[in-house]
Amino acid sequence: MTKVPELFGSLVFDESTMRELLPKDAYRALKAAIAQSKPLTPDVANVVAAAMKSWALEKGATHFTHWFQPMTGITAEKHDSFISPTGDGRVIMEFSGKELIKGEPDASSFPSGGLRATFEARGYTAWDPSSFAFIKDNTLCIPTAFCSYSGEALDKKTPLLRSMEAVSRQAVRVLHLLGKTQVKNVKSTVGAEQEYFLIDKEVYLKRKDLIYTGRTLFGAEPPKGQQLEDHYFGAIKPRVAAFMQELDEELWKLGVPSKTRHNEVAPAQHEMAPVFNTTNVATDQNQLAMELMKKVAARHGMVCLLHEKPFAGVNGSGKHNNWSLSTDSGENLLDPGSTPYENAQFLLFLAAVIKAVDDHQDLLRVSVASAGNDHRLGANEAPPAIVSMFLGDELTGILEAIEQGSGYNSKASSEIAIGADVLPTFPRDNTDRNRTSPFAFTGNKFEFRMLGSSFSVADSNTVLNTIVAEALSLFAADLEKASDINAAIADIVARTMKEHKRIIFNGNNYAAEWVVEAEKRGLLNLRSTPEALKRFATEQNAKLFEKHGVLSRTELHSRQEIFFEGYSKIIAIEASCLVSITRKRLLPAVLEYSKELAATALAKKQLSQAIDTGVEERQVTKLSALATKLDEKLNQLITAIADSEKLSDGAELADFSHDKVFASMEALRIVIDEVELIVAKKYWPVPTYGDLLFSVQ
């Protein structure tokens, strides 16, 4: 194997490649364009494109594509080859600056939430030079933003980039007020820990529900699940280890700094975490990681499941979004530092996050809402649907002391006086861990743990950046008026605590008492996706996104429409899949097994009336009753589906899909799982949970 440092980034047209291959002026112009988020001039673009082309051809690329992130949540690419016929039966390989900078894919088949009706079908993609081009499948991939011709964002990346600018603007404004006038920009950073399941391909192919919906729609609990807690951090099986090794190598080639790998809590569940990066790059890299997990698994005869809840009864999969803010000189603004001055700055940014999370619980909740994630959030699993923050006792204690203007007695028992203009020094990294919190401070960053495993991290970070930008802008306005900056900071921190401390909860977020307590505190508890989505395009949120230039009203409304629609479609697919499997496979299996039992009983009786056929009779009786119930629940589901098809309003349909269609699926599932436990293995037509969860040995 090539040495890792040589392998790393070998398929990326990155900083060092650019420096090596571009003429000095072009390199400088490109760097300046990236730093200022400005477009390239046609001349520079041509030079960059030419260098990129020769580099890509040398690496075996035959095609190029604008790689973008439509509202489907996954990535899209349409390959064009470099060939250009010369007229004499030959071709040359061409790639122009124009082709690098802008593409014009047909936008009409991507979700647009109504934008398509009012605007041209054509969309265009524009290079995001802050994310490097790379080679995948012999194709030069150019990371791009995707917009309609009139400039509306049709993707997840455009608002993310806008939100990064918004938070940078406000953070720089605050830092300048604190005297750090040398800071030119601030970047939000993200490290996305990715959970996934691996199962054997042969077994997978026998579960149509997994194939069509990514999750099992039924399945009785296996005798062994995660009770023994023997999988978490356990020794990695050779087949999985081989997968992980190849995955890391593939990721490294693409410059994704995959760092950690381990077994997770549920059987067959694992995790990968990279070293963090700027938010837009981390988003691209997480998309690549998810794509590669699927590809590499296939090479090892396995399937990688990224669904939030592939199996009921064992843990689902999430994505931990580690987030922070960092200046252009690399200073982490959520690092407490070790001097009172650094602390003042830290406490101010910390206060901004506290205010942001409390004021905009709704948006954070919306950003993690999906049919898949509904199985995790608030469903007796980590984390709950209620947004709250964990700060740890030490930090909470300090903030409370500032709020009360009193001294704080730190755990290290060094008395710290807090006056109006003196902020405390306190021990770093004294945060204990609370694994149950949806939004936890972990030493020098926040870990937002509510994201689902299949999510693009773009939406949550767009929200995080925007809401923190808003809090910072309000603080900046106060600081601009202040005569004594330290007193003003202390005042802001104290006021933030007074107004927003309800959002801080250091206890067990899974406990039933928390739900009651959270309600008393007036925190939102949006239990399902439809409930959450209704909170998205409110007037308050429209103003917020508009103020920071992240989403226009039209974009916001279209996104809400897309999310409603997406949710209802997923439920509809799951429902029709369950109907079909129940009808075509499960019900027939029950009837067949009953027939076999009845035939056995009859045969025995024919042989001799004295033979006991009690077992067969009791089983047939039980099965017949269950078959009736199965049929009844199946018909209720069919009716619910038919009724849902009469609805056209997005919100109404989503509500109905949740309250009626999904509920009917759950009711049917209960009967199926009961039946599965009785029907003989040889008659049960699909692999069981045991077969699936322990398929990779």
Q: Looking at beta carbons only, is 231 or 658 nearer to ligand ADP?
A: 231
Q: Which region, judged by CB under 5 A, interacts with Mg ion, from 132-140, 316-324, 364-372, 432-440?
A: 316-324
Q: Which does 308 bind (CB under 5 to 8 A by kind): Mg ion, ligand ADP, none?
A: none
Residue 594 in contact with ligand ADP, rule: CB under 6 A: no
What's at 436, amino acid-wise?
T
**Judged by CB, which is closer to ligand ADP: 273, or 395?**
273
445 belongs to the binding site for ligand ADP (CB under 6 A)? yes
Q: Which amino acid would we find at residue 120?
A: E
Query: Using the rule CB under 6 A, which residue among 73, 191, 219, 383 binds ligand ADP?
Result: 191
Calculate Rg over the CA atoms of the chain. 28
CA–CA gap between residue 585 and residue 579 (Å, rounded):
10
How far apart are alpha carbons 240 and 515 in whole angstroms?
39
Residue 320 as a binder of Mg ion (CB under 5 A): the answer is yes
**Pattern 273-312, Mg ion, x by CB under 5 A:** ----------------------------------------
Residue nearest to ligand ADP (CB): 191
* Among the residue ranges 57-65, 269-277, 305-313, 406-414, the one whose residues contact ligand ADP (CB under 6 A): 269-277
- At position 564, the amino acid (one-letter code) is F
Residue among 189 and 460 whose Cβ is closer to ligand ADP: 189
CB 130 within 8 A of CB 281: yes
Q: How many CB atoms lie within 10 A of CB 536?
A: 21
Partner whose footprint covers residue 352, from Mg ion, ligand ADP, none (CB < 5 to 8 Å by kind): none
Q: Which of residues 289-328 bind ligand ADP (CB under 6 A)?
A: 322-324
Of 18, 135, 265, 273, the one binding ligand ADP (CB under 6 A) is 273
Which residue(s) pair with 359 in the sheet? none
Q: Which residues pair with 187 in a beta bridge?
A: 326
- In 59-207, where does DSSP find H-type helix? 97-101, 115-118, 157-177, 201-205
445 makes contact with Mg ion (CB under 5 A): no
Packing angle, helices 553-581 and 614-644, rounded to 10? 150
Q: Which does 215 bind (CB under 5 to 8 A by kind): Mg ion, ligand ADP, none?
A: none
Q: Is 350 one of the binding residues for ligand ADP (CB under 6 A)?
A: no
Report the residue number, 320 or 658, with the smaller CB distance to Mg ion: 320
Residue 358, helix vs strand vs coil: helix
**Are 582 and 634 in contact, with CB atoms under 8 Å apart?**
yes
- 274 makes contact, choosing from ligand ADP, Mg ion, none, with CB < 5 to 8 Å by partner type, with ligand ADP
Judged by CB under 6 A, does residue 468 bind ligand ADP? no
Q: Please tell me whether residue 449 binds Mg ion under the rule CB under 5 A.
A: no
Is the Cβ of residue 440 or residue 693 nearer to Mg ion in the bound state?
Answer: 440
CA angle 245/248/253 to nearest 5° reads: 130
- Would you state the torsion angle of the CA atoms of residues 145, 148, 151, 155, taken in this order, to the nearest 10 degrees? -40
Q: Token pair for residue 133? A: 């081009």
Q: Is 319 in the site for Mg ion (CB under 5 A)?
A: no
Residue 436 in the binding site for ligand ADP (CB under 6 A): no
For ligand ADP, give the closer residue by CB, 224 or 433: 433
Query: What's phi and psi for 176, nearest 5 deg?
Result: -60, -40
Report how far residue 57's alpha carbon sits from residue 80's, in angstroms, rounded to the nearest whole number. 14
CB of 323 to ligand ADP, least distance (A): 6
CB neighbour list of residue 355: distance below 8 Å, 6 or more residues apart = 471, 474, 496, 499, 500
Closest by Cα among 472, 477, 492, 503 to 354 = 503
* Residue closest to 130 by CA, chosen among 92, 97, 166, 162: 162
Which one of the spans 98-106, 196-204, 273-281, 630-638 is the region binding ligand ADP (CB under 6 A)?
273-281
Does residue 430 bind ligand ADP (CB under 6 A)? Answer: no
**Binding site partner of 32, from Mg ion, ligand ADP, none, Cβ cut-off 5-8 A by kind:** none
Which residues lie below 8 Å from residue 535, measured CB to CB, with a gap of 6+?
362, 363, 365, 366, 524, 526, 541
Interface with Mg ion (CB under 5 A) = 320
Query: Which positions lie near ligand ADP, rule CB under 6 A?
Result: 189-191, 193, 273-276, 322-324, 332, 442, 444-445, 447
